[in-house]
Amino acid sequence: MGELGVVDSFTVTFIVRRFNPETDSEPHWQDFDVEMYSTDRVLDGLHKIKWDQDGSLSFRRSCAHGICGSDAMRINGRNRLACKTLIKDLDISKPVYVEAIKGLPLEKDLIVDMEPFFAAYREVQPFLQTSAKPKKEHLQSVEQRERFDDTTKCILCAACTTSCPVFWTDGQYFGPAAIVAAHRFIFDSRDEEAQVRLDILNSKEGVWRCRTTFNCSEACPRGIEVTKAISEVKQAAIRGVRR
């Protein structure tokens, strides 16, 4: 902090993994020196590169406040949201490496094709299914709501799924995010199709492909206990749902 509350600036080297399908046969690394402040985020650095140095740099972002989940990427080897990763929390004595999340087809620079991710999400039927037609609110107790509260926090950023070594090597695995989406409804007392979802996830490419490495829980920007949710779905598949 400088005089009169002025925040000091410093130079940060970003090394970004670039790929242009029109000109490149393989991805390559490119470095950029960017003037930053400790209050900046990695997303701010990417904006400065795109706006001031190389307008061809491509990445997704929308809300910039950790809600939309669109700017998930690998930062120094870890899946994070660029908008939530503060420069002051990184070791800027070394370059900051930024690349696309793994396990999904690379489209350009930091952009991947999310369709395989959303296909798995849709397959677990992530919506409330009930034949009940209450004439007033369909009430739940506090305890019933708390049973699945953690998994309602998912923003579908794919950070958990693309941190999973099984997902990297098995293109048929549903992945943690899809299982989290299923968990949210399996344990919802208002839903009547828990068994349908459990049958889907009880396949060889479902919950049983999880190797409990905890990468998914560590990667989640919302702090969801992803590995715990997967474990609870496994138990429900064996013993039935206990809401």
Checking if the pLDDT of 84 tops 80, the result is: yes
90 contacts 175 by C-beta, under 8 angstroms? no
Checking if the pLDDT of 210 tops 80, the result is: yes
Sheet of 78-81: strands edge to edge?
28-37, 9-18, 96-99, 72-75, 78-81
Checking if the pLDDT of 2 tops 70, the result is: no
Stronger pLDDT, 99 or 204, i.e. the higher one: 99
**pLDDT class of 5 with cuts at 50, 70, 90:** low
In total, how many domains does the chain have? 2
The domain boundary residue, chosen from 95, 112, 129: 112
3 state SS of 221: coil
Q: Are residues 137 and 35 in the same domain?
A: no
DSSP conformation class of 181? H
**pLDDT class of 135 with cuts at 50, 70, 90:** confident
* % of the chain exceeding 90 in pLDDT: 88
Beta strand segments in the chain, E? 9-18, 28-37, 72-75, 78-81, 96-99, 106-108, 111-112
Q: Are residues 137 and 64 in the same domain?
A: no
DSSP conformation class of 6? P
What 127-135 contacts at long range (C-beta under 8 Å, 24+ apart), as own/partner pairs, is 127/185, 128/185, 128/188, 128/190, 128/191, 129/185, 129/191, 129/192, 129/193, 129/196, 130/190, 130/191, 130/192, 131/192, 132/190, 132/192
CATH of the domain at 190: 1.10.1060.10
Q: Lowest-confidence range among 53-62, 76-85, 127-136? A: 127-136
Quick one: pLDDT at residue 152?
98
Checking if the pLDDT of 157 tops 90, the result is: yes
Q: Are residues 7 and 60 in the same domain?
A: yes
**pLDDT class of 204 with cuts at 50, 70, 90:** confident
Looking at the DSSP bridge assignments, the partners of residue 188 are none
The domain boundary residue, chosen from 84, 112, 140: 112
Quick one: pLDDT at residue 7?
75
Alpha-carbon span 135 to 119, nearest angstrom: 34
pTM of the model: 0.92
Stronger pLDDT, 57 or 5, i.e. the higher one: 57
Quick one: pLDDT at residue 138?
84
* % of the chain exceeding 70 in pLDDT: 98
Q: Are residues 100 and 135 in the same domain?
A: no
Checking if the pLDDT of 97 tops 90, the result is: yes
What's the mean per-residue pLDDT of the chain? 95
CATH of the domain at 14: 3.10.20.30
Q: Are residues 218 and 106 in the same domain?
A: no
Quick one: pLDDT at residue 181?
98
Quick one: pLDDT at residue 17?
98
Domain that residue 25 falls in: 3-112
Give how far the C-alpha of residue 191 lies from the chain's centroid of Cα atoms, to the nearest Å. Answer: 25
Alpha-carbon span 156 to 74, nearest angstrom: 16
* pLDDT (average), residues 88-109: 97
The domain boundary residue, chosen from 112, 141, 157: 112
Q: Are residues 92 and 147 in the same domain?
A: no
**pLDDT class of 4 with cuts at 50, 70, 90:** low
Q: Are residues 64 and 138 in the same domain?
A: no
Alpha-carbon span 49 to 80, nearest angstrom: 19
